[in-house]
Structure 1
Amino acid sequence: MSTVSLPDDPEADPRVKQVFDDIRATRGSEFINLLWKYLAFDPPLLKQVWDDVKSVMAEPSALDSKTKEMIYVAVSIANSCSYCVHSHTAAARAKGMSDAEHADLLRVVSTASKTNALLNGLQVPVDPQFNRETG
C-alpha cells in the first residue's frame, strides 16, 4: 500500500502534464508508469526526479542504454526495490537483454552480495594497489 494517494487526474496540473509529455516523448510511448503517477502528488518532486532519471538513463553517454538498465537492475536488487527490479528488467529486455545475459547479471549480483557480506564481516583492509593514487 502506498504512503500517498494516487492523484485522480494528475495531468490537470499543467506542471505534471508537462513532465508526463516529456516522459512520453523521451520514451516514444504513451505509457506512464505508476512511479510517475504517484510522484505527481508533488509536481516539483516529480520534475526533479524525472530530470535526474532522464539525464542519466536517456541521454547518450559512455554506457549504452541496455548496460545502464542492467546496472539499474543490479542496484535495485541490492537496495531491495521490487518495483525497480521489475521495471528495469523489462526495460533491459526491451533494449535487447537476453535470458542468458539476465542469468549472468543475477550470477554477478549474487556473487557480489556474498563476497560483500564476507568482506564486511571480515573487515579486510583494501590492497594499496586498488587505490588509484598508489596503484
Structure 2
Amino acid sequence: MKPARIATVTPVSEESAVGKVVAVYADIKATKKIDFVPNIWRVLATNPDHLELTWTRLKAIMHPEAAGRTSKLDPLMREAIALAVSATNGCAYCVNSHTAALRKLGFDAEAVGEVLAVAALFNSTNALADGYQIEPDVLPPLDG
C-alpha cells in the first residue's frame, strides 16, 4: 500500500536526509522541543538551500530566544499573530500548526476562538475602509 500523499513533491524523510538537511532537522527538533520533523520542513528539504533560508528566518522571528535574541513579543503573542494571519491567508496547515502551538502554550478553545474573531473582524473592517478609500485620521507617532 502506498503511503498517503502529503504534498506535490516527495518529502525528505529524516532517515534519508543528508548534509545541511540533517543539521536543519536537528535544529528544528531542538528549537521546537519536538521529536519529529513536521511535514512543511520535510517538503522544503527537497531544496536544502530553501529549507535552510526559511528555517533561519522563521527561527529568528518565531524563536528569537533560541537565536540568542530578546523579543518585545512573547511566544503567545507571536503564535496568536501567526494563527490570525494563517486563517486570513487560508492556510489549513499553518492554522493547525499555530493552533497546536497556542494550545501547548496554554490557550484554550475559547482563547483560540477570540484570536480568530479578532482576525475576522479586522478582515471585514479593513475591507470596508479599503473599499471606501477612507483617509487615515488616527496616526501613530513617528518616534518613541
Cα deviation, residue 9, structure 1 = 5.8
1:89 aligns with 2:94: no
- Residue of structure 1 in register with 2:54 after alignment: 49
TM-score, length-normalised on structure 1? 0.89
* Cα 1:30/1:106, change in 2 over 3 Å: same
Q: Structure 1 residues 41 and 100, CA, compared in 2 at 3 Å: closer, same or farther?
A: same
5+ residue gaps, structure 1? none
Higher fraction of helix: 1
Q: Deviations over 1:29-59 (max 9, x none)?
A: 2121000000110111101100111111112
Q: How many residues align?
A: 132
Letter of the structure 1 residue corresponding to residue 139 of structure 2: F
Paired position in structure 2 for 1:32: 37
User: Aligned in 2, Cα 1:99/1:7: closer, same or farther, shift over 3 Å?
Assistant: closer
Task: State how far apart, in whole Å, the 2-side matches of 1:9 and 1:93 are.
Answer: 26
CA contact (8 A) 1:10 1:16 kept: no
- Report which stretch shifted further, 78-87 or 34-43: 78-87
Does 2:53 align with 1:17? no
2:126 equivalent among 116, 122, 125: 116
Q: Percent identity?
A: 36
The match for 1:130 is 139
Q: What is the distance in 1 between the residues matched to 2:96 and 2:33?
A: 20
Question: What RMSD over aligned residues (CA atoms) do the two structures have, in Å?
Answer: 1.7
Q: 1:115 & 1:29 partners in 2: Cα distance?
A: 38
